[in-house]
Amino acid sequence: MAGRPRSGAERLTREAIVIAAVALADAEDLAALSMRSVARQLGVMPMSLYNHVANKEDLLDGMVDVVFAEFYAPVPGAEWRSELRRRVVTARMALKRHPWAVGLMDSRRNPGFATLLHHDAVIGCLREAGFSLKLTGHAFAVLDAYLYGFLLQEVSMPFEPGQDLAELGTQMVAALPEGQLPYFREFTLEHALKPGYDFGDEFEVGLDLVLDGLAERLAEQQQSRAS
């Protein structure tokens, strides 16, 4: 005899709840996220979620874990610069898919396993490349500061990549005090508002500057140890 069909609440899993929450935040941002809105998305009663997630903070922990799992995990022992470059580039791509996560990634008091696994991979890549514990801390901090800082600027831009900026440029120039701000005027008119300019193109240029600096620090550390 066939068993009775399972209800939506009986089919719930933590993974399904977290994925639904990520989809909701992607579509409507975190302001729309609540246990009730996620339950509505899944077609179940809100109380049924609590069999799988403790509360909204636990749900956010799971959502951050999902985003970290989309970052490339650098391979300890491989060439550190290319590994970390790939990690930061893919992290930016993931955070552009999930802009709500930019301010959450390292804020969780109870990080999930994917989060910890990713951090272990980054630290392992640096340590196997010869970075001291102190320099590993510096490198990890500056790479993430650059990543998250750039994303905050990028997602706050008042225009979209590829958008025709002619009208915006006309308005901006008209508002400039005549004869003042010569360098800002030059940069704006002759570079930033030119067709084809994309602020996002600055990302990998800046990332290479950061990696150049870390490579110099690593060489200085190795030279100091050898002397």
Domain boundaries, the chain: 14-53, 67-161+198-226
Mean pLDDT for 111-120 is: 94
pLDDT at 10: 58
pLDDT at 226: 85
Mean pLDDT for 12-17 is: 95
Residue 8 has pLDDT above 70, yes or no: no
- How many CB atoms lie under 10 A from the CB of residue 80? 23
Residue 158 has pLDDT above 90, yes or no: no
Q: Do 14-53 and 67-161+198-226 come out as alike in CATH topology?
A: no
CATH topology of domain 14-53: Arc Repressor Mutant, subunit A (1.10.10)
pLDDT at 2: 47
Mean pLDDT for 65-84 is: 97
pLDDT at 163: 58
Percent share of the chain, pLDDT over 70: 90
Give the Cα separation of 143 and 85 in Å (integer): 9
Among 16, 20, 19, 33, residue whose Cα is nearest residue 100: 33
Mean pLDDT for 91-113 is: 92
Residue 83 has pLDDT above 50, yes or no: yes
**Residue range 67-161+198-226, CATH number:** 1.10.357.10
Percent share of the chain, pLDDT over 90: 68
Question: pTM of the full predicted structure?
Answer: 0.86
pLDDT at 43: 93
Give the Cα separation of 67 and 151 in Å (integer): 14
Whether 142 contacts 214, CB under 8 Å: yes
pLDDT at 138: 97
Residue 1 has pLDDT above 50, yes or no: no
pLDDT at 3: 46
Among 188, 164, 163, residue whose Cα is nearest residue 174: 188
Mean pLDDT for 57-72 is: 96
Q: Is 143 helix (H, G, I), strand (E, B) or coil?
A: helix
